[in-house]
């Protein structure tokens, strides 16, 4: 019996205890979700009247030494605090993008911490770090201080996304994992919905950072509420601790506890015997033709997912009309994504689902260009449809990638693709800030269509038996579906 089978046998698929842990972690993740979406409020595109003598009170005139900012919507932002306009516009893009660099670094660092010191420690450290770095960023007296702290916020964000996902998945049974894809998205959507409401009443970026982080100081008490992952304990050979955790969880779920020790001992022995096996590396992704092609295609597809989604996310904040209402409507519209991705995973082939998501996003953006500027409702509608398509692609491609690659290099392949995803998120603000609207939109659309086209060269994976070795993948046609 494998470790996966052991866990599900002892504690069930996903009982009330795991639901309680999911609730705690979902609440604790809100500061992270706010940081992923708040760029439209803390580093927005601003309108101003230039008060220089030779500017004649011109709007958005460059160069401008004495701008008078429009405070009807946002009273104080990072942009207005350090005058990130004209020749400093690139610094505004950097302040936006540095979060993605931090997420990349944080994923690497916290991934190592999680494997070395445990899922619980890594998860709690990332959650607590967010509550420390975000308030510190609000106290920045210089732009470079804000950028540095924004990077550290990104590292905590990357750790939270990775480690909280892992611990939730490992606390549940393997047969429930497809549904966790939707449940784990709920904190992001709820954070996205509540952010514009909070920002509407708190229109100073320093106060907004404080309010969306400091109240979550209670996450330090999670040390006494959240257990260590029993799968990690079994993998590390901590039999006694694994039995204690599983017994506690089984009792909470009203499951029998008679033979837990025997089941854990068997699982530990199997795990220990398999630890001598060789594991794959990043170099293995480029040694054989199919895996090399899959790796390069998937890396580009992940880059387009992040680039398109975060680009649209920021662009919605620039649309005409009330910024708070625009963001609120776009966030509420993401709720159907939860249903879409689950239904797509269950009833549509993986390749078709991902391709359709990209096509919907790309077409919506192209139609967005030809909509008259005075038709604000229709303009917002197409932007939201594009965002839904990009988010659905983002979620579905994660599952798709885990099925395309064999067990031997699965983690390395997804780590490699994740690097490109962060690169896509990094360059998105620079594309948004090009200054020519149709050029920015065309770039987002073309990349989405290119990703859809390249997905056609990937194998279909729905309902297949996952392969374990590179040799199996190279010899497999991978179009044959097993039932």
Residues of the chain within CATH 1.20.1250.20 domain(s) are: 1-277, 279-483
Q: What is the pLDDT of residue 335?
A: 83
What confidence tens digit (pLDDT) does each residue in 374-417 have?
777 787 788 888 888 988 898 888 778 877 887 567 667 777 88
Spatial contact of 146 and 140, defined as CB atoms under 8 Å apart: yes
Considering only CA atoms, which of 204, 197, 192 is closest in space to residue 79? 204
Long-range contacts of 79-85 (CB under 8 A, 24+ apart): 79/43, 79/44, 79/45, 79/46, 80/46, 80/48, 81/205, 82/143, 82/146, 84/43, 84/143, 85/46, 85/48, 85/60
Where is 48: in which H helix or E strand? strand 48-50
Q: What is the pLDDT of residue 30?
A: 96
Considering only CA atoms, which of 90, 211, 105, 84 is closest in space to residue 155? 105
Query: Could you give the angle at which helices 239-252 and 16-28 cross, rounded to 10 degrees?
Result: 100
Task: Give me the half-sphere count of Cα atoms (radius 13 Å) on the Cβ side of residue 386.
Answer: 33
| DSSP-derived secondary structure letter, 406 | -
Mean pLDDT of 182-191: 86
For residue 438, pLDDT beyond 90? no
The architecture (CATH level 2) of 1-277 comes to Up-down Bundle (1.20)
Q: Which residues pair with 204 in a beta bridge?
A: 76
Q: What is the pLDDT of residue 478?
A: 54
Q: Residue 114: which pLDDT band, with cuts at 50, 70 and 90?
A: confident
For residue 209, pLDDT beyond 70? yes
How many residues are there in the chain? 483
Q: Residue 246 is encoded by which pair of tokens? A: 């599983």
195 by Cβ neighbours in 10 Å (0-12 / 13-18 / 19+) ranks as buried
Spatial contact of 219 and 28, defined as CB atoms under 8 Å apart: yes
CA dihedral sign, ordered 55, 60, 63, 65? positive
Q: Residue 140: which pLDDT band, with cuts at 50, 70 and 90?
A: very high
What confidence tens digit (pLDDT) does each residue in 70-104 have?
998 899 999 999 999 988 888 988 888 899 889 88
Q: What is the pLDDT of residue 479?
A: 43
How many other C-beta atoms can be found within 10 angstroms of the C-beta atom of residue 271? Answer: 17
What separation in angstroms does the CA of 89 have from each of 37, 72, 146? Answer: 20, 21, 16
For residue 201, pLDDT beyond 90? yes
Q: What is the pLDDT of residue 262?
A: 82
What confidence tens digit (pLDDT) does each residue in 341-372 have?
888 878 888 899 999 999 999 998 888 778 87
The architecture (CATH level 2) of 279-483 comes to Up-down Bundle (1.20)
């Amino acid at each position: 019996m494998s470790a996966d089978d052991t866990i599900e046998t002892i504690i069930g698929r996903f009982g009330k205890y795991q639901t309680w842990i999911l609730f705690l972690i979902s609440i604790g993740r809100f500061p992270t979700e706010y940081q992923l979406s708040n760029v439209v409020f803390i580093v927005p595109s601003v309108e101003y009247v230039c008060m220089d003598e030779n500017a004649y009170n011109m709007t958005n005139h460059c160069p401008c030494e004495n701008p008078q900012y429009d405070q009807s919507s946002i009273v104080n932002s990072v942009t207005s605090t350090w005058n990130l306009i004209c020749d400093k516009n690139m610094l505004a893009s950097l302040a936006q993008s540095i979060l993605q660099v931090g997420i990349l670094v944080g994923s690497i660092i916290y991934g190592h911490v999680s494997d070395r010191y445990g899922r619980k420690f890594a998860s709690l450290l990332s959650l607590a770090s967010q509550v420390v770095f975000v308030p510190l960023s609000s106290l920045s007296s210089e732009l470079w201080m804000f950028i540095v702290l924004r990077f550290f916020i990104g590292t905590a964000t990357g750790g939270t996304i990775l480690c909280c996902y892992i611990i939730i998945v490992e606390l549940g049974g393997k047969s429930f994992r497809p549904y966790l894809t939707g449940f784990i998205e709920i904190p992001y959507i709820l954070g996205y919905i509540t952010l514009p409401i909070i920002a509407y009443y708190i229109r100073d970026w320093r106060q907004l950072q404080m309010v969306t982080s400091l109240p979550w100081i209670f996450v330090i008490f999670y040390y006494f509420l959240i257990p260590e992952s029993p799968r990690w304990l079994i993998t590390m050979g901590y039999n006694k601790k694994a039995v204690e955790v599983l017994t506690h969880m089984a009792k909470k779920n009203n499951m029998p506890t008679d033979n837990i020790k025997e089941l854990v001992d068997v699982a530990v022995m199997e795990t220990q015997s398999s630890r001598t096996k060789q594991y794959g590396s990043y170099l293995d992704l480029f040694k054989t033709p199919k895996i090399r092609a899959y790796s390069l295609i998937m890396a580009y597809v992940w880059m387009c997912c992040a680039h398109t989604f975060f680009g649209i996310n920021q662009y919605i904040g620039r649309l005409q009309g009330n910024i708070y209402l625009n963001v609120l409507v776009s966030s509420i519209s993401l709720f159907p994504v939860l249903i879409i991705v689950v239904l797509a995973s269950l009833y549509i082939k993986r390749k078709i689902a991902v391709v359709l998501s990209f096509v919907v996003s790309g077409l919506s953006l192209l139609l967005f260009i030809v909509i008259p500027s005075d038709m604000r409702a229709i303009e917002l509608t197409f932007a939201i449809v594009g965002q839904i398509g990009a988010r659905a692609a983002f979620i579905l491609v994660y599952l798709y990638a885990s099925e395309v690659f064999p067990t031997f290099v699965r983690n390395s392949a997804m780590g490699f693709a994740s690097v490109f995803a962060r690169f896509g998120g990094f360059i998105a603000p620079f594309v948004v800030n090009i200054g020519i609207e149709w050029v920015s939109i065309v770039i987002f659309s073309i990349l989405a269509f290119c990703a859809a086209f390249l997905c056609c060269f990937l194998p279909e994976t729905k309902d297949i038996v996952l392969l374990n070795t590179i040799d199996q993948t190279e010899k497999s046609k991978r179009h044959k579906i097993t039932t």
